[in-house]
Amino acid sequence: MGVGFGKYHFPKNSSKTIIGYISGFLASFGVSLFSLWLFEPHVTSSKMIIISLSGAIVFLIIDLLSLKIDDNILNPIFCSLTMTLFYIVL
């Protein structure tokens, strides 16, 4: 999404775009919300939103960090750990 439509890069010298960050955030939020609704129907809507939002925020933070490890490896690991922690706590 960011490659085709993104005009504003963040940071300036990066190939990543703001629209790409927003698209990734919304996609991770939407997919996790749908998955919770489909596979965990006993969880309340507010808890689903909180769990999905926590995973999407972690996704965005990892995507924003410029680490030596590929974010395609880190995102599933840390997003799922965060969402599992919120699922257990809530």
- Domain with 8 in it: 2-89
pLDDT of res. 71: 81
Other Cβ atoms less than 10 A from the Cβ of 10: the count is 15
- Total number of domains constituting the chain: 1
Distance of CA 31 to the CA centre of its chain: 9
Cα–Cα distance for residue pair 17/39, rounded to 1 Å: 33
> Which residues of the chain are under the pLDDT cut of 70?
1-6, 9, 12-13
Q: What is the pLDDT of residue 30?
A: 98
pTM of the model: 0.86
Nearest partner of 36 among 87, 72, 79, 76, judged by Cα: 87
Q: Residue 13 has what pLDDT?
A: 67
Q: For residue 17, list its beta bridge partners.
A: 9
